[in-house]
């Protein structure tokens, strides 16, 4: 019989899938580099964050910071919350997530569906107010038995990528990878994968993709709409020495390419995946122009598009922000770069 004992045993070992039409490479890409997508939405919780959740919890159990029956408190409403909630219920912990009231009900309901508690804080109060997002999460995290993973400072976040995502990519490409492209939120993915790959072969180019406005590409934290990537501060989990280059991608290009991935590659992914893949396409065009048909570019696609159906995949939402919609949105990147 073929089975696993828990869904947690299915975290990681995600496949690499070749990108085709959306790259718009000359001659169908025959003389061009190979571009492979690491499809992280095939993790059981639906995102790359399952990896860090299980690794951070394992480490806290080992160090005694998390005791049997303890409570995990994290200010998150996204993918990290799902990963933590999934691992927590399987191991008998309670999860409490603190999120601002601007977080959609759908996102809160996903966390509740896994059995987590969600505490919603008003956005319209000052940070020093007792009901503020920061104060509530600090207060909950200081209760006896509570533990706060803090994905922005926890070294087991990048370590999970150093130990799993990096080695998987190296082995799946039989050491032939030449370029690694990924978005950066906490910076855990790029720091862990990048360090591992460079230790195997220092010539591998590590390339960050970043929303225009974020600090990683020299911005000041100016707002952007793509979710899960870009920061207005430098997280401790980001290793500044690892990226060889950062490519800035506009929201318009990120969203248009996200839609192309769904329509042309059958990959229903989130906006940060579209952003990273758009940067990978740019790298592929540069390499093709240099005649580098030996190059192997791997781009990491962090999560599924299911969580963004009312945004990136909704013409009215796109139009509200002045982005191209419909067929225009799906094709505006053709022939560019």
Take residue 149 and report the two structure tokens written for it: 């993973």
Going from the C-alpha of 208 to that of each of 188, 244, 277, the distances in angstroms are 12, 8, 11
Among 46, 70, 213, 302, binds ligand PMP (CB under 6 A): 302
Which among 215, 237, 70 is positioned nearest to 161, based on CA atoms? 237
If binding means CB under 6 A, how many residues of this protein chain bind ligand PMP?
17
- Closest CB 214 distance from ligand PMP, rounded Å: 11
Chain position whose Cβ is nearest to ligand PMP: 228
Residue 328's CB is within 10 A of a number of other CB atoms, namely 12
Q: Order of strands across the sheet with 146-147?
A: 117-121, 94-100, 71-74, 146-147
Which among 233, 247, 240, 227 is positioned nearest to 191, based on CA atoms? 240
- Closest CB 187 distance from ligand PMP, rounded Å: 5
Under rule CB under 6 A, residue 79 binds ligand PMP: yes
User: Whole-angstrom Cα distance, residue 276 to residue 229?
Assistant: 10
Which among 299, 266, 261, 51 is positioned nearest to 169, based on CA atoms? 299
- Closest CB 308 distance from ligand PMP, rounded Å: 9
Among 303, 313, 323, 325, binds ligand PMP (CB under 6 A): 303
Residues 168-197 interacting with ligand PMP (rule: CB under 6 A): 183-189
- Closest CB 111 distance from ligand PMP, rounded Å: 14
Catalytic residue among 49, 107, 148, 311: 49
Region near ligand PMP per CB under 6 A, out of 93-101, 172-180, 221-229, 245-253: 221-229
Nearer to ligand PMP, 186 or 333 (CB): 186
Under rule CB under 6 A, residue 75 binds ligand PMP: no
User: Whole-angstrom Cα distance, residue 15 to residue 37?
Assistant: 8
Under rule CB under 6 A, residue 254 binds ligand PMP: no
- 3-class secondary structure, 67: coil
- Closest CB 235 distance from ligand PMP, rounded Å: 8
Nearer to ligand PMP, 33 or 194 (CB): 194
Nearer to ligand PMP, 14 or 25 (CB): 14
Helix axis angle, 271-289 relative to 251-265, nearest 10°? Answer: 90
Among 43, 54, 132, 272, binds ligand PMP (CB under 6 A): 272
- Closest CB 190 distance from ligand PMP, rounded Å: 6
Under rule CB under 6 A, residue 78 binds ligand PMP: yes
Q: Is 102 a catalytic residue?
A: no
Residues 20-59 interacting with ligand PMP (rule: CB under 6 A): 49
User: Whole-angstrom Cα distance, residue 329 to residue 272?
Assistant: 16
CB 140 within 8 A of CB 117: no
Nearer to ligand PMP, 149 or 183 (CB): 183
User: Whole-angstrom Cα distance, residue 262 to residue 200?
Assistant: 33
CB 158 within 8 A of CB 55: no
Under rule CB under 6 A, residue 228 binds ligand PMP: yes
Where does this chain bind ligand PMP (CB under 6 A)? 49, 78-79, 183-189, 227-229, 270, 272, 302-303
Q: Among all residues, which ones are annotated catalytic?
A: 49
């Amino acid at each position: 019989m073929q089975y696993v004992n828990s869904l947690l045993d299915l975290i990681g070992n995600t496949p690499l899938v070749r990108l085709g039409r959306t790259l718009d490479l000359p001659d169908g890409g025959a003389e061009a580099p190979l571009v492979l997508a690491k499809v992280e939405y095939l993790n059981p919780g639906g995102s790359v964050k399952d990896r860090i959740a299980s690794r951070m919890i394992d480490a806290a159990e080992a160090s005694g910071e998390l005791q049997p029956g303890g409570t995990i408190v994290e200010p998150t409403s996204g993918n990290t919350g799902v990963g933590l909630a999934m691992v927590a219920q399987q191991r008998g912990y309670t999860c409490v997530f603190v999120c601002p009231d601007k977080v959609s009900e759908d996102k809160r309901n996903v966390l509740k569906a896994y059995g987590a508690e969600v505490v919603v804080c008003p956005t319209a109060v000052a940070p020093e107010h007792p009901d503020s997002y920061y104060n509530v999460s600090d207060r909950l995290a200081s209760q006896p038995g509570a533990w706060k993973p803090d994905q922005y400072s926890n070294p087991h976040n990048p370590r999970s990528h150093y130990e799993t995502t990096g080695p998987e990519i190296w082995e799946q490409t039989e050491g032939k990878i030449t370029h690694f492209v990924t978005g950066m939120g906490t910076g855990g993915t790029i720091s862990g994968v990048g360090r591992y790959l460079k230790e195997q072969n220092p010539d591998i180019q590590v390339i960050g993709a970043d929303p225009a406005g974020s600090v990683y590409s020299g911005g000041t934290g100016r707002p952007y709409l793509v979710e899960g990537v870009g920061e207005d501060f430098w997280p401790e989990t980001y290793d500044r020495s690892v990226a060889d280059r950062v490519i800035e991608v506009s929201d318009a290009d990120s969203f248009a390419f996200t839609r192309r991935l769904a329509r042309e590659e059958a990959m229903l992914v989130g906006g940060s995946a579209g952003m990273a893949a758009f940067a990978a396409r740019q790298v592929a065009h540069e390499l093709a122009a240099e005649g580098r048909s030996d190059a192997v570019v791997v781009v990491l696609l962090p999560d599924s598009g299911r969580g963004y159906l009312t945004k990136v995949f909704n013409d009215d939402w796109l139009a509200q922000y002045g982005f191209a919609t419909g067929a225009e949105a799906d094709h505006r990147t053709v022939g560019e770069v």
